[in-house]
Amino acid sequence: MLPAYEELVAWLPELLAGLTISLQVAALSLLFGMPLGLLLALGVIARSRILKTVSLVLVEIGRGAPALVLLQFIYFGLPATGLTLGSFTAAVVALAWNTGAYTSEIIRASLQSIPRGQRDAAEAIGLTGVDELRYVLLPQALRVALPPLLGFSILIFQGTSLCFTIALPELVSRAYEIGSGTFRYFPVLLAAGCLYAAVSVPAAILVGHVEKRAGRYAER
Amino acid sequence: MSQADIFVILRGLPWTVALTLGAFLIGSIVAVPLLAARESQFLPLRLFAMSLIQVVRGIPPLLWLFIIFFGLGMSYFPISPFVAALTGLGLIAAANMAEIYRGALKSIHHGQWEAANALDLGRLSTVAFIIAPQALRVALPSAASYLIGLMKETAVASTIGVAELAFQGNRLSQLTFQGLEVFAVVGLLYVVLSLPVAWLSRSADAYLRSKVAA
Amino acid sequence: MDGAVLYLADPPQSSQDRSNGGIMMEQGSNGTVIRLRALSKHFGAHTVLDAIDLDVRPGEVLAIIGPSGSGKSTLLRCINYLERPDGGTITIGPTTIDASMPVERAELSKLRRRVGMVFQSFNLFPHMTVLRNVSIAQERVLGRSRAEAEERAMQLLSRVGLADKAGQHPGRCSGGQQQRIAIARALALDPEVMLFDEPTSALDPELGLEVLAVMRELADSGMTMIVVTHEMGFAENVSDTVMMMADGDIVEKGSSNQVMRQPQQERTKRFLRAVHDR
Ligand SMILES: Nc1ncnc2c1ncn2[C@@H]1O[C@H](COP(=O)(O)OP(=O)(O)OP(=O)(O)O)[C@@H](O)[C@H]1O
Ligand SMILES: [Mg+2]
């Protein structure tokens, strides 16, 4: 059942190339998605009605629909509007949207967790709304949000596996291709699983530590 | 998109619901022995459970389904797409529910354990009668939001051919070349499906809260 | 305690000439720094402030006493618009704000620059150093350079006896120290009036003393102060004027001697008896 050594050596370059694409898609999605999440979080709590509604709709769809459906909506659906994206771009757009929606909720919750007195004090010393956010609220909120944001980053990395469905040559696609070529599905998929776990498990352990430390910080 | 098209998509609904509830049920039950092992005094068992949870969560759901359906099913023993999806998602749900139970257990004040010890209740009775009822209440909101997450996760079953919502959407979009509307409707259906769960969770939470307060 | 009085920047004045104003400031008409007219606030159907009129002279130290829920905090918070009043006017120096009209940000910022506030729970910014807590508003609101702001912040920290804490984070400081830092932070904008909302209530009596010492020094230097307090000693000995509030109304107001020793109103007598019996 297990892959033979020679097989592994033969597959590894292909699988690693896939892993690289998975990591690239994840990194870019987070890079665009997290700032988007911040903007959406601010949009949802904004006073402007239009801003609020637009942000809410983007957030609710981005988290309410499965990432797989978002991906297919953008890759297979958008061309109808004349906008055709390559599978890599479509993957980044969909996962960044998904990231933005989730992280906006994380950031919003962490903003709300900051004691009311911090706002009072910031306003009492005359800081404007923007300065209050920039110097008082966000630095504290992001510290609270860090562990869940890191945890979500792992999910997005795993979420890149969905790009199999839009023919992006990431890790699962490559493993599946090797499997259908050699009919050695189990060993090659298992190898791909090990590569995912090799990234996700240490990352999850790390996040666990950050979480514990953040908990200690909060107690002080 | 015609009304008939929407009916085509809706044909996926029972599969999505069955897969979600089935995997959740399996997960909620399997999570109990898994957590017991995770918290066991016997180190090898504890290590085994801990690594199992980590590894199950460390591999994407889609790949789990592939490993089970293509890896095991195609090569060793034939398995239907639905059973493969149910097994994979049930396994993932078990790992996640074990973590949810664990978080809830940890949130129970240790004074409750001490009080139970003072009454000389055994470990099993303490858990069964004192800790678990309180922990379940704490676990409920996370479990409910996990149920919603799991429901969206079931969309990956479309990739191994379970005829659920995303699968129907996919097929319809290939038939009609109207991906935009089709996937919008499918996405909306998932949002709509999550509403009753969220509502149920809120009312169950309020009910349990009032019971504790009384 | 390390005797903050030792760090006086200005020599204390006797309380007699304090009311003449030890420091120069812009004044509204009739020599008041703060003038409230018909200030009202409701939470739903509940009237928390019932058309409050109040004048505070330059250099005056006004203590507000009264039972819990009488609206003392709400009054302070309305004065610098942390809470939006429903009606009435607030005049601070030359600036008048009509609560029944929409207020522009710029007006609000002018108002807040003239008013410093100290909270019961300190509300220091935990992620900034002590120095930054005191310098941030000078940079962002007054537009001072960082060097200037930090120099002034160091002066203020010395004044409250905490220059040695400048580089630390507030979480490392005792409650009394935190409250003194909060006072320095509020002083950083050179306000004309300082509002204190039960500044010692969250502190052990001993730590409360070091905060009270700083406040007494501030009073002696001629600062106009409104202090909500449960410290009857402060009301009696440091403040010039005492105001008793109940149910959103001013029950009575007079010199501290008079209100504390010979209260006229039954409500005040009852309150003072209850406090003394504790
Ligand atoms: N944000 C709010 N929403 C609703 N009611 C409020 C709010 N803030 C204050 N109140 C109510 O207004 C009344 C006055 O509150 P306030 O905090 O001003 O009293 P206080 O005199 O400062 O009391 P304490 O001595 O307990 O601090 C109370 O009945 C309180 O419940
Ligand atoms: Mg109060």
Against chain A, the chains showing at least 3 CB pairs within 8 Å are: B, C
Q: Is A185 on the interface with B (CB under 8 A)?
A: yes
**Both tokens assigned to C196:** 């204190």
Establish if C179 belongs to a structural domain.
yes
What is the CATH number that goes with domain A4-219?
1.10.3720.10
- Domain residue limits, chain A: 4-219
Question: From the CA of C82, which ligand is nearest?
Answer: 1
The residue whose C-alpha atom lies closest to atom 8 belonging to ligand 1 is C74
Q: In what order do the strands lie in the sheet with C95-98?
A: C46-56, C34-43, C87-92, C95-98
ipTM at complex level: 0.92
CA angle, C45 as apex, C44 and C49 as ends, to 5°? 90
Can you give the pLDDT at residue B17?
A: 95
Distance CA A163, CA C60 (A): 71
- pLDDT 10s digits, B109-161: 777 877 877 787 777 788 778 888 888 888 888 999 899 999 999 999 999 99
Average pLDDT of chain A, as a whole number:
93
> Predicted confidence band at A217 (pLDDT cuts at 50, 70, 90)?
low
Mean pLDDT of A21-49: 95
User: Does any domain span residue C131?
Assistant: yes
Taking the Cβ of residue A195 and every Cβ of chain B, the question of whether any pair is shorter than 8 Å is answered with no
Residue B179: predicted pLDDT: 83
What range defines the domain where residue C136 resides? 124-190
Best of C133, C140, C169 to substitute, by most chain A Cβ atoms within 10 angstroms, is: C140
Residue nearest to atom 24 of ligand 1 (CA): C68
User: At C87, is the secondary structure helix, strand, or coil?
Assistant: strand
Question: Average per-residue pLDDT in chain C?
Answer: 87
Residues A118 and C174: their CA atoms lie apart, in Å, by 18
Closest CA to A201 of C49, B213, B157, B54: B54
Q: Is residue C23 predicted with pLDDT exceeding 50? A: no
Residues in A 102-121 with any Cβ partner in C closer than 8 A? 115, 117-118, 120-121
- CB-based contact B59 A193, cutoff 8 Å: yes
Domains of chain B, with CATH numbers? 3-213 (1.10.3720.10)
Q: What are phi and psi of C2, to 5 degrees?
A: -105, 30
* Closest residue in chain C to residue A140, using alpha carbons only: C127
Q: Tell me the pLDDT band of A172, cut-offs 50, 70 and 90.
A: very high
Mean pLDDT over A82-89 rounds to 92
Find chain A residues with C-beta within 8 A of C171's C-beta: 220
Q: Summarize pLDDT for C28-57 with one digit per residue, the tens.
A: 445 889 999 999 999 999 999 999 999 999
| Interstrand relation of C61-65 and C224-228 (parallel, antiparallel or unpaired) | parallel
What's the mean pLDDT in C22-27? 41
Q: Is the pLDDT of residue C167 over 60?
A: yes
CA angle C29, C33, C34 (to 5 degrees): 100
C229 lines ligand 1 (CB under 6 A): no
pLDDT at position C78 is 95
* Calpha distance B181→B162 (Å, rounded): 22
Pick B167 or C2 by higher pLDDT: B167
Buried b (16+ CB within 10 A) or exposed e, A94-124: bbbbbbbbbbbbbbbebbeebeeebbbbbbb
C162 occurs within a structural domain: yes
pLDDT of res. A189: 95
**Structural domain count, chain C:** 1
Mutate to test the interface with C, among A125, A130, A135, A219 (most CBs of C within 10 A): A125
Q: Which of A157, A147, A149 is nearest to A67 (CA)?
A: A157
**Residue A216: pLDDT band by 50, 70, 90 thresholds?**
low
- Helix axis angle for A87-112 and A49-64, nearest 10°, is 120
Check residue B68 and give its pLDDT: 96
Q: Which pLDDT value is given to residue C30? A: 59
Considering every ligand atom, which ligand is closest to the CA of C230? 1
Local structure of residue C198 (DSSP, 8 states):
S
Question: If you average pLDDT over residues A1-19, what whole number do you get?
Answer: 90
pLDDT in tens, C97-129: 999 888 888 888 888 999 999 999 999 999 999
Q: Which member of A68, A185, A201 has the closest CB to residue B156?
A: A68
DSSP string of C159-175, one letter each residue: HTT-GGGTTS-GGGS-H
Torsions phi, psi for C8 (to 5 deg): -50, 130
Quote the ligand 2 centre to C68 CA distance (angstroms). 7
Beta bridge partners, C245, equal C250
Closest residue in chain B to residue A157, using alpha carbons only: B60
pLDDT range class, residue C22, cuts 50, 70, 90:
very low
With an 8 Å Cβ cutoff, is A82 touching chain B? Answer: no
Instruction: Summarize the confidence of residues A78-96 as an average pLDDT.
Output: 93
Rounded distance between C-alpha atoms, residue A170 and residue A179, angstroms: 14
Confidence bin at C27 (pLDDT 50/70/90)? very low
CA–CA dist B180, A163 (Å, integer): 18
